[in-house]
Amino acid sequence: MCFTTRWAYANLFPDYTANKFNRYDFGAYRLIIADVDGKAIIRNVNKSKQKEIPIGSQIIKVNGMPTAAYINKFVKPFISQSTPKTLEVESIRALFLGFPGDHYNIKLKKPQGEIISLGLTHAKPEKSEFYPAIQDQPLFEYKPLSNNIAYIALNSFNNAKIDTEFLNKLPKLKTASAIIIDLRNNGGGSGDVALNIAQYFIQGDIIYNEKVQTRRLIAADRGVGSFFTPADTVNGKPDWGLTKQQVINYYNKYIGDDYFTYENRAVALDRVQKLLVPTVILTSYATASAAEDFLIFTDGQKQITRIGENSNGSTGQPLQVQLPGGGSAWICTKKTFYPDGREFIGIGIKPNIKVVQTVQDFIKNKDVVLQKAVEFLSKN
């Protein structure tokens, strides 16, 4: 059921340890795969195999099938994500998700064009060190760039400490001619934490919260609706003394198509010294949840331009259910819109300037999104 909803906030989370699921351990080989421009690309490999399998190699076949066809048949049907892009990304990441002993015959195309065949069987790794080494992602990053541009990365809103780290750099940000805010790795957290920082980039003293709907479940009304059929919604139920609209209302409650809309209230911002210089916000498919709240808070600000790719297109309050035997499930309990009612769930918040990293950019370690932001601010 979670997979048919195609919604990241309706999902299953198995106990990977207890069930011995594995993504990238194959005895002598360790491979981490990333989606780069729609292709399954080797992002990390164990150090002892870096010459045999260069970073940037593309998986072109799995068990005799083109990789895209294999994913469409054996992976995508079991992935729950909100947008086509996030479904593609997570499906590629889960390409080799399996149990010990699961075997894959693959064909790899190296960056220079050579094609090799490889047999992979899930097993405990012989060598654990990855190349390139996997670095821990800091909560907050700051660095000065050329032309007096200040760069900050807000990598999570799941820890209020980021507000303090932001405030520590505020004196330097106040002297910048332009600012880049990198949200590409921000999977969300608290909307309040996001607003604490976003308010510095918003003109005026108030903003309006997102419009939020949640399903309304009234058992007695659903009970009445359970006696009706779709045909009853056409003419009503005169023998029950119910009009057509009354029958529709009861039937909608029965099938769960009845929603409560929260009042969209104005929120007073703190009296802070604003940072209203030209600003670019970098976004990607991984910009999600409270990070999308940040984008909505700052939407329409004349000095702000979004560069990169559509955001994740999924936010909401999950209801967590613990499952027998370990693991958990999420059920999404609300749907969020822009304050004016525009939809972004299942779509993502679109950049003003779209920039996509190619495989060649990846191999050369070129951050073309950041480069575009610097170029844009330097000219404007």
pLDDT more than 90, % of the chain: 81
Question: Each residue of 104-137: pLDDT tens digit?
Answer: 999 999 999 999 999 999 999 887 789 999 999 9
For residue 370, the number of C-alpha atoms closer than 13 Å in the C-beta half-sphere is 16
Q: What is the CATH number of the domain that holds 353?
A: 3.90.226.10
Same domain, 225 and 335: no
In a domain, 12, yes or no: no
Question: Each residue of 30-63: pLDDT tens digit?
Answer: 999 999 999 999 999 999 999 999 999 999 999 9
Same domain, 233 and 291: no
Q: Are 339 and 212 in contact (CB under 8 A)?
A: no
Question: Each residue of 69-102: pLDDT tens digit?
Answer: 999 999 999 888 889 999 999 999 999 999 999 9
Q: Mean pLDDT over residues 323-343, rounded?
A: 88
pLDDT at 216 over 80: yes
Same domain, 152 and 124: no
Q: What is the CATH number of the domain that holds 87?
A: 2.30.42.10
Confidence of residue 16 (pLDDT cuts 50, 70, 90): low
Q: Are 307 and 280 in contact (CB under 8 A)?
A: yes
Same domain, 205 and 305: yes
Distance between CA atoms of 214 and 260, rounded to whole angstroms?
5
In a domain, 124, yes or no: yes
In a domain, 117, yes or no: yes
Q: What integer pLDDT is reported at residue 96 of this predicted model?
A: 96
Question: Each residue of 345-377: pLDDT tens digit?
Answer: 889 999 999 999 999 999 999 999 999 999 999
Question: Each residue of 272-327: pLDDT tens digit?
Answer: 999 999 999 999 999 998 999 999 999 999 999 999 999 999 877 888 999 888 88
Q: What integer pLDDT is reported at residue 9 of this predicted model?
A: 66
> What totals of helices (H) and strands (E) does the chain contain, helices first?
13, 22
In a domain, 18, yes or no: no
Domain count, the chain: 3
Q: What integer pLDDT is reported at residue 252 of this predicted model?
A: 96
Distance between CA atoms of 19 and 52, rounded to whole angstroms?
31
What six digits make up the tokens of 78? 């079991």
Distance between CA atoms of 238 and 78, rounded to whole angstroms?
46
Same domain, 250 and 340: no
Q: What integer pLDDT is reported at residue 326 of this predicted model?
A: 84
End-to-end CA gap in the chain: 49
In a domain, 328, yes or no: yes
Same domain, 159 and 268: yes
pLDDT at 200 over 80: yes
Q: Mean pLDDT over residues 147-161, rounded?
A: 98
Same domain, 109 and 226: no
Same domain, 163 and 108: no
Confidence of residue 5 (pLDDT cuts 50, 70, 90): low
Q: Which residue has the tokens 């610097």?
A: 374
In a domain, 9, yes or no: no
In a domain, 333, yes or no: yes
Q: What integer pLDDT is reported at residue 14 of this predicted model?
A: 76
In a domain, 3, yes or no: no
Q: What residues make up the domain containing 244? A: 220-255
Q: Mean pLDDT over residues 222-249, rounded?
A: 95
Confidence of residue 265 (pLDDT cuts 50, 70, 90): confident
pLDDT at 1 over 50: no
Same domain, 30 and 117: yes
